[in-house]
């Protein structure tokens, strides 16, 4: 299997400010950024110079079927800069007819004219980071936008989608933020549905090291929904969205028919992808390589890659399958689950060793299968919906224990 990656992730690290839960590789530029010729433009242009250099450093290319421009806040860039990025891929890699080209947008960072400019640049799918429609929750989370901004952005995206100018769009929410009890969360879900987004992502709040939330938690000043309320919120997500016609095709993702994120399925299915930009992760042949998270180190790394040929992990070679534990973890996130025995066979263990290790995994999962959290059809395993998906961490931890034991 010596296929070149057909998907690319591009990281645009700029934000107006860092949200209280964010630990991504971002560069806060303040509120008054003008990326073409005003405040912050030198920083942005300098970064794009090195980003383009990195993209051009790949010697072995295939045309791309998905591109995802994430961040940070890519919508800080001017549509002309987004067009330059898409054109760079078009001219040097090729972009398939019908490719999915996604861009993350933040409600406080673009207007309707910008949106039309991004579409003219080649973007055909947008991921809108709303997180909540509640102004108090947004403020407590360090978000810059207000519910009014979020609603306007949703209406613009609904309009361009219904006009046929884009293929799809996603509305992203975070559940279990501070002040987000059952009522507030139900209100957020019901508000989201009124805009009829074809895709909705529901992310659980994670408290990461180095974030404002982590510091507040350590000094006892962060009040979050308790475990029971958090579980209720998850059940509400599942109930309300399913009754509104959305299918849960992955633990955190719901969509209307034919609106799954093609790009994200590349990650979950274990295929290779290019990753470009500060702090991004590339996995072209199955093994991961993460770029430096700090600007100075990233630029130094790019110069080294460009002048001294590519890192060995980026040279064309036979595809190496991901470690079994990661492959199973990613496969279980999907509605259709994963054929465990097929995964074991990929390791060239032979029939006897595969059977022994398979039976050991079944032992670890015995209670979950009996309780109905984990379902089995032949050698394919998948999480029950909703309870198995809500309690997936327990099942995945048991799998990690199995992996540690057999290693």
Instruction: List pLDDT tens digits, range 18-51.
Output: 999 999 999 999 988 889 888 889 999 999 999 9
DSSP 7-42: EEEEEE-EESS--TT--SS-EE--S---TTTSTTHH
CATH architecture of the domain 7-268 equals: Alpha-Beta Barrel (3.20)
Confidence at residue 382, expressed as pLDDT on a 0 to 100 scale: 94
Q: For residues 249-271, give the mean pLDDT.
A: 93
Q: What is the rounded distance in angstroms from the CA atom of residue 100 to the CA atom of residue 122?
A: 10
% of the chain surpassing 70 pLDDT = 96
Domain with CATH 1.10.10 in the chain: 324-406
Cα separation of 395 and 329, whole Å?
A: 9
How does the average pLDDT of the chain come out, rounded? 91
Say if residue 29 is preceded by a cis peptide, omega within 30 of 0: no
Q: Does the pLDDT value for residue 226 go beyond 50? A: yes
Domain with CATH 3.20.20.70 in the chain: 7-268
Q: What is the pLDDT of residue 74?
A: 97
Gap between the Cα atoms of 325 and 340, Å rounded: 11
Q: Find where tokens 């999480």 sit.
A: 383
pLDDT digits (tens, 9 = 90+) for 274-327: 999 999 998 887 778 889 999 999 999 898 887 766 555 454 444 444 578 888
CATH 1.10.10 corresponds to the domain 324-406: yes
Contact 261, 170 (CB under 8 A): yes
| CB of 2 closer than 8 Å to CB of 319 | yes
The number of angstroms, rounded, from the C-alpha of 308 to the middle of its chain's C-alpha atoms is: 31
- Residue 125: CB atoms within 10 A of its CB come to 23
As beta bridge partners, residue 141 has none
């Amino acid at each position: 299997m010596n296929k070149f990656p057909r998907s690319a992730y591009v990281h645009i690290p700029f934000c107006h400010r860092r949200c209280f839960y964010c630990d991504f590789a971002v560069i806060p530029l303040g509120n008054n950024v003008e990326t073409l010729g005003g405040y912050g433009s030198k920083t942005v242009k300098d970064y794009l110079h090195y980003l383009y250099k990195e993209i051009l450093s790949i010697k072995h290319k295939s045309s791309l079927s998905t591109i995802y421009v994430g961040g940070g806040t890519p919508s800080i860039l001017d549509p002309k800069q987004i067009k330059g990025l898409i054109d760079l891929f078009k001219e040097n890699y090729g972009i398939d007819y019908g490719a999915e080209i996604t861009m993350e947008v933040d409600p406080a960072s673009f207007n309707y004219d910008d949106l039309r400019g991004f579409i003219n640049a080649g973007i055909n799918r947008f991921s809108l980071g709303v997180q909540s429609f509640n102004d108090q929750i947004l403020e407590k989370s360090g978000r810059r936008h207000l519910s009014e901004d979020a609603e306007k952005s949703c209406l613009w995206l609904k309009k361009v989608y219904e006009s046929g100018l884009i293929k799809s769009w996603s509305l992203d929410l975070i559940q279990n933020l501070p002040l987000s009890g059952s009522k507030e969360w139900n209100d957020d879900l019901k508000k989201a549905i009124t805009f009829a987004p074809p895709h909705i992502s529901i992310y659980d709040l994670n408290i990461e090291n180095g974030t404002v939330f982590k510091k507040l938690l350590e000094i006892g000043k962060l009040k979050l929904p308790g475990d029971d309320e958090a579980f209720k919120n998850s059940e509400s997500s599942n109930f309300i969205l399913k009754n509104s016609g959305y299918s849960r095709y992955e633990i955190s993702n719901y969509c209307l028919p034919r609106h799954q994120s093609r790009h994200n399925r590349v990650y979950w299915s274990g295929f290779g992808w290019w990753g470009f930009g500060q702090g991004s992760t590339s996995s072209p042949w199955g093994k991961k390589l993460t770029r430096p998270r700090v600007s100075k180190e990233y630029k130094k790394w790019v110069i080294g890659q460009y002048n001294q040929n590519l890192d060995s992990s980026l040279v064309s070679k036979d595809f190496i399958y991901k470690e079994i534990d990661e492959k199973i973890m990613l496969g279980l996130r999907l509605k259709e689950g994963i054929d465990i025995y097929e995964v074991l066979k990929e390791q060239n263990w032979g029939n006897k060793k595969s059977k022994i290790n398979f039976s050991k995994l079944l032992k670890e999962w015995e209670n979950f299968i009996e309780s109905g959290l984990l379902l089995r059809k032949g050698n394919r395993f998948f999480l029950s919906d909703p309870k198995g998906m809500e309690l997936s961490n327990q099942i995945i931890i048991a799998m990690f224990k199995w992996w540690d034991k057999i290693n």
